[in-house]
Amino acid sequence: MVNELNSTDFSPLANPPYHVGIIMDGNGRWAEANGKSRYQGHQAGTDNLQRILEDSIEFGVKMLTIYAFSTENWRRSTYEIKGLMAILESVIDRRLAELSRKGIQIRHLGELDKLEATLRKKILYGMESTKHNDKLILNVAFNYGGRSEIVQAVKRVIQDSILPDQITEELLSRYMYTAGSPDPDLIIRTSGEFRTSNFLIWQAAYAEYYITPTYWPDFSKAEYYQTLSEFSQRDRRYGGRK
């Protein structure tokens, strides 16, 4: 799994996943292990994300969904929450132009309404100003929860006066935040927890999972490459038989 990660040979992958989801977990434990504050841990995680974005483009991933703040993360201290909001804001302020130059299109998944107006406007600006980019679609799940996503979908279905007979899996998919996007092929979770933590629970019904003990700030290009090449060996049967 995590062995032989010193390879610098990143030859093109024959069959990279189209859509990768990442539960970027372990910033806090990384900080603790390195004698730093949790805030510094989140910053280190954000720096790592910049690298992973470039690697995603290089490895042929077309869509990346990152779990950056869950609806459950409001249970953390006000101090930590403020830090996480500030980090997202500063990424938009300082790095948006560079992300756009790289051809990255930013989308948001989750409830925008509950975020402060300044941050909300910046996120909307980030989406608007990158909407024509097509190298990599980056879905930022921020104030996102899978159950809350399903609840908002059901509410809108009712508001649209959809009749029971019209409700299908395809229709419900169109009411999710990911409307129009293919389901994730691969979900990576760092820091060794074996749970979804409410991430893409509708969309990931048939995703492949990869869980690594590595803390998110240490998740390297080499491990990412190895994860993607291992993915291409998997036998995805979708309940059928080959």
**Catalytic positions:** 25, 73
- Which of residues 34 and 232 has its CB atom nearest to ligand IPE in the complex? 34
- Which of residues 36 and 120 has its CB atom nearest to ligand IPE in the complex? 36
Q: What residue 115 binds from ligand IPE, Mg ion, none (CB within 5 to 8 A, per partner kind)?
A: none
Asked whether the beta carbons of 16 and 60 are under 8 A apart, the reply is yes
CB of 87 to Mg ion, least distance (A): 15
Sheet containing 19-23: give its strands across: 104-109, 136-144, 63-70, 19-23, 186-189, 208-211
Q: Which pair of tokens denotes residue 168? A: 């299908």
CB of 61 to ligand IPE, least distance (A): 19
- Count CB atoms within 10 A of the CB of residue 114: 10
Contact map string, positions 20 to 59, toward Mg ion, x by CB under 5 A: -----x----------------------------------
- Which of residues 172 and 211 has its CB atom nearest to ligand IPE in the complex? 211
CB of 23 to ligand IPE, least distance (A): 5
Give the span between the Cα atoms of 10 and 178, in whole angstroms: 30
Asked whether the beta carbons of 190 and 212 are under 8 A apart, the reply is yes
Length of the chain: 242
- Which of residues 154 and 211 has its CB atom nearest to ligand IPE in the complex? 211
Residue written as tokens 């979900």? Answer: 187
> Which of 25, 56, 19, 23 is closest to 215 using CA atoms?
25
Q: Which pair of tokens denotes residue 64? A: 């990346």
CB of 25 to Mg ion, least distance (A): 4
Q: Residue number with the shortest CB distance to ligand IPE?
A: 28
Residue written as tokens 């993915």? Answer: 231
CB of 75 to ligand IPE, least distance (A): 9
Give the span between the Cα atoms of 27 and 217, in whole angstroms: 6
Which spans in 24-164 are helix H?
Answer: 27-33, 38-59, 78-101, 117-130, 146-159
- Which residues of this protein are in contact with ligand IPE, per CB under 6 A? 23-29, 67-70, 72-73, 84, 191, 193, 195, 197
Q: What residue 67 binds from ligand IPE, Mg ion, none (CB within 5 to 8 A, per partner kind)?
A: ligand IPE
- Which of residues 112 and 154 has its CB atom nearest to ligand IPE in the complex? 112
Q: Residue number with the shortest CB distance to Mg ion?
A: 25
Binding site for Mg ion (CB under 5 A): 25
